[in-house]
């Protein structure tokens, strides 16, 4: 069955862009935008008066970001909105709240009103690099479905589906396995109306019920539903969840060690009316997550830390997934760029494939952070005793073990020279900087790849054994 999946002819036009001249989010260093040309620590502090409240904001031991790169322009609605929140609170907001507003504000959030992917967008993701990525995810879902005993009804959930490219390639790649595709009910968790429309188009959907946000994908005759959150997806049946480059966009809280101990990094408005970072004068509610996360770190790790990045939403999402998988059966596949260690300071902003200042023109650039894979593992295991967590392993190991090498060989038999060059370029961008068994790469220098920068982790119901390729 696996060889049949890997060697069947492709029904999707091969990518013909050659070696992409742009960056993936993974190929950019997460430290560049904050650590270049740091200024000396500032010792200033400010007292903000508010009716019934006095808030002292300490800026000692805090490095300021590089100067804003944009010229003076009229304030956008999102900038006005952020400033009004800070003014109403009488003090700064957390980096997590700033990040959430910048990315998903209903009116002006980065993801909400346009296509941000590909050469004309701000960054590129693995499904846009090559059709083989979505096909390999299809191999993984079919293998797990087999281990689950071939249930007749399965919820296939994708978190943050982007353009819908991954899901479209998955359905095309598994289309010959009718028992599998006929069992599927696809649920796309997407908050952006603009991206929902793109997903509808790329999955070749015909509307069945606009009131229920339900359609039928002509790629496999499969029902497709849209939801704003995972909680809205119906439970009670086995569930397969795909989270590719979803966790990196979840809001993070940042903490910095100071003379008073750990303080949370906040976003404030300075006297020049520009956004700036400050430190909280006392522990914040998010510090509870900081203490919890640090209990999972070794004493040696804790001793070396000067900065810590925590994503409570990532922990909460993982627990929701684990509880669902533990009770209903199924599994989740998480692929993202991150580390198998505590995260220090990785938040970055990317606009048009280049780094920009995090506080510069909010809403015009993507904000993302490295994924803390140990926190995902611990959160899942705490939420349900009925799940097991496997990995992480590198994307190169994951794709190689699933058979991407056999798949690229099969595709090369049915394409012209231009398509072959594009296939090889896409292959090496997916597995580069890491081992991909059984296939030797070109002698010349290859573009920076995603093979070791991305990690894969699986959460599955214990009754289903160890999922491929984590055995």
Residues 175 and 263 in one domain: no
The answer as to whether 471 is a domain residue is: no
pLDDT of residue 212: 56
Kindly give the pairing relationship between strand 371-372 and strand 330-339.
parallel
The answer as to whether 68 is a domain residue is: yes
- 21: Cβ contacts below 8 Å, ≥ 6 apart: none
Residues 328 and 427 in one domain: yes
Q: What is the 3-state secondary structure (H, E, C) of 60-112?
A: CCECCCCCCCCCCCCCCHHHHHHHHHHHHHCCCEEHHHHHHHHHHCCCCCCCC
User: Could you give the residue ranges of the DSSP H alpha helices within 329-461?
Assistant: 373-383, 395-402, 404-412, 417-431
Q: What is the mean pLDDT of residues 33-52?
A: 40
The answer as to whether 444 is a domain residue is: yes
The answer as to whether 411 is a domain residue is: yes
pLDDT digit string, tens, across residues 194-205: 889 999 999 999
Examine the pLDDT at 434 and tell me if it is beyond 80.
no
Cα separation, 432 vs 442, in Å, equals 11
Examine the pLDDT at 12 and tell me if it is beyond 80.
no
Q: E strands along 125-164, which residues? A: 154-159
| Per-position DSSP letters for 279-315, written without gaps between them | E-SS--TTHHHHHHHHHHS-HHHHHH-SEEEE-HHHH
Cα separation, 140 vs 263, in Å, equals 42
The answer as to whether 469 is a domain residue is: no
Examine the pLDDT at 149 and tell me if it is beyond 60.
yes
Residue with the larger pLDDT of the pair 212 and 12? 212
137 closest CA partner among 404, 417, 433: 404
Residues 322 and 354 in one domain: yes
Residue 119 and residue 22 in contact, taking contact as beta carbons nearer than 8 Å: yes
Q: What is the mean pLDDT of residues 249-272?
A: 92
Q: Give the end of a domain, one of 310, 330, 345.
A: 310
292 band by pLDDT with thresholds 50, 70 and 90: confident
pLDDT of residue 167: 97
Give first-to-last CA distance, the chain, whole Å.
18
207 band by pLDDT with thresholds 50, 70 and 90: confident
Whole-number percent of the chain with pLDDT over 90: 55
The answer as to whether 96 is a domain residue is: yes
CB atoms within 10 A of CB 274: 14
Residue 266 and residue 258 in contact, taking contact as beta carbons nearer than 8 Å: no
Q: What is the mean pLDDT of residues 111-128?
A: 66
pLDDT digit string, tens, across residues 67-116: 444 455 678 999 999 999 999 988 999 999 999 999 998 888 887 776 65
448 band by pLDDT with thresholds 50, 70 and 90: low
Q: Give the end of a domain, one of 287, 310, 333.
A: 310
Helix%, strand%, coil% for the chain, nearest 5: 35, 25, 40
Kindly report which listed range (28-37, 101-110, 145-154) carries the lowest average pLDDT score. Answer: 28-37
| Residue 421 in tokens | 């060059």
Residues 6 and 86 in one domain: no
pLDDT digit string, tens, across residues 212-255: 567 888 888 899 999 999 999 999 999 999 999 999 999 999 99
pLDDT of residue 61: 47
The answer as to whether 176 is a domain residue is: yes
Cα separation, 7 vs 411, in Å, equals 8
The answer as to whether 34 is a domain residue is: no
pTM of the model: 0.82
Q: Give the end of a domain, one of 277, 310, 343.
A: 310
Residues 164 and 104 in one domain: no
Domain that holds residue 276: 39-114+252-310
Cα separation, 383 vs 376, in Å, equals 11
Cα separation, 24 vs 15, in Å, equals 16
pLDDT of residue 120: 54
pLDDT of residue 330: 98
Residues 185 and 244 in one domain: yes
Examine the pLDDT at 64 and tell me if it is beyond 70.
no
pLDDT of residue 445: 46
| Residue 458 in tokens | 């699986």
Cα separation, 244 vs 266, in Å, equals 28
pLDDT of residue 73: 60
Residues 281 and 244 in one domain: no
Half-sphere exposure of 132 (CA within 13 A, CB side): 31
CB atoms within 10 A of CB 349: 24
Cα separation, 390 vs 380, in Å, equals 11
208 band by pLDDT with thresholds 50, 70 and 90: low
Residues 276 and 416 in one domain: no
Q: What is the mean pLDDT of residues 407-427?
A: 90
| Residue 58 in tokens | 């300490």
Instruction: Give residue for tokens 């795909």.
Output: 242
**Own/partner long-range contacts of 412-421 (Cβ < 8 Å, ≥24 apart):** 414/9, 414/10, 415/14, 418/16, 418/18, 419/14, 419/16, 421/18
127 closest CA partner among 409, 399, 401, 460: 399
pLDDT of residue 3: 47
pLDDT of residue 119: 52
pLDDT of residue 60: 46
**Domain containing residue 373: CATH number:** 3.40.50.150
Task: Choose from 207-221, 319-333, 408-422, 438-452 the range with maximum mean pLDDT.
Answer: 319-333
Number of structural domains (the chain) is 2
298 band by pLDDT with thresholds 50, 70 and 90: confident
Examine the pLDDT at 7 and tell me if it is beyond 60.
no
Residues 321 and 214 in one domain: yes
Q: What is the mean pLDDT of residues 116-131?
A: 70
Residues 220 and 326 in one domain: yes
Residues 432 and 283 in one domain: no
Instruction: Give residue for tokens 């070396």.
Output: 304
Residues 189 and 165 in one domain: yes
């Amino acid at each position: 069955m696996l060889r049949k999946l890997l060697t069947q002819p492709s029904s999707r036009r091969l990518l013909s862009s050659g070696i992409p001249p742009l960056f993936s989010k993974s190929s950019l260093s997460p430290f560049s935008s904050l650590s270049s040309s740091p200024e000396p620590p500032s010792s200033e502090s400010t007292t903000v008066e508010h009716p019934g409240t006095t808030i002292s904001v300490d800026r000692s031991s805090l490095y300021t970001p590089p100067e804003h790169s944009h010229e003076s322009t009229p304030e956008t609605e999102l900038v006005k909105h952020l400033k009004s929140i800070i003014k109403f609170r009488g003090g700064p907001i957390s980096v997590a709240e700033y990040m959430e507003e910048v990315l998903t504000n209903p009116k002006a959030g980065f993801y909400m009103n346009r296509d941000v992917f590909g050469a004309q967008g701000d960054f590129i993701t693995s499904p846009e690099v090559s059709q083989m990525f979505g096909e390999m995810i299809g191999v993984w879902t079919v293998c797990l479905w087999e281990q689950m005993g071939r249930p007749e009804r399965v919820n296939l959930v994708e978190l943050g589906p982007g353009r819908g490219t991954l899901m479209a390639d998955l359905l095309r790649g598994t289309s010959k396995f009718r028992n599998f595709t006929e069992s599927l009910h696809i649920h796309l968790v997407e908050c952006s109306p603009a991206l929902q429309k793109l997903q509808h188009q790329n999955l070749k959907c015909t509307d069945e019920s606009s009131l229920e946000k339900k359609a039928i994908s002509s790629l496999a005759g499969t029902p497709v539903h849209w939801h704003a959150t995972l909680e809205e997806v119906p439970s009670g049946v086995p569930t397969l969840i795909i989270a590719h480059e979803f966790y990196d966009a979840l809001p993070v809280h940042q903490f910095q060690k100071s003379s008073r101990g750990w303080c949370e990094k906040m976003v404030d408005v300075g006297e020049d009316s520009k956004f700036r970072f400050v430190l909280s004068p006392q522990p914040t509610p998010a510090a509870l997550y900081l203490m919890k996360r640090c209990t999972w770190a070794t004493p040696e790790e804790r001793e070396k830390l000067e900065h810590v990045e925590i994503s409570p939403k990532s922990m909460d999402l993982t627990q929701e997934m684990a509880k669902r998988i533990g009770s209903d059966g199924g599994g989740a596949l998480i692929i993202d760029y991150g580390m198998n260690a505590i995260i220090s300071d990785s938040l970055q902003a990317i606009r048009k494939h280049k780094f920009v200042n995090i506080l510069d023109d909010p809403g015009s650039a993507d904000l993302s952070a490295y994924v803390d894979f140990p926190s995902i593992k611990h959160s899942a295991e705490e939420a349900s005793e009925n799940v097991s967590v496997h990995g992480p392993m590198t994307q190169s190991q994951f794709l190689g073990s699933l058979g991407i090498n056999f798949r690229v060989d099969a595709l090369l038999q049915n394409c012209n020279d231009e398509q072959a060059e594009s296939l090889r370029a896409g292959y090496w961008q997916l597995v580069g900087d890491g081992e991909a068994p059984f296939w030797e790469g070109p002698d010349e220098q290859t573009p920076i790849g995603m093979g070791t920068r991305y990690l894969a982790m699986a959460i599955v119901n214990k009754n289903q054994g160890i999922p491929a390729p984590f055995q």
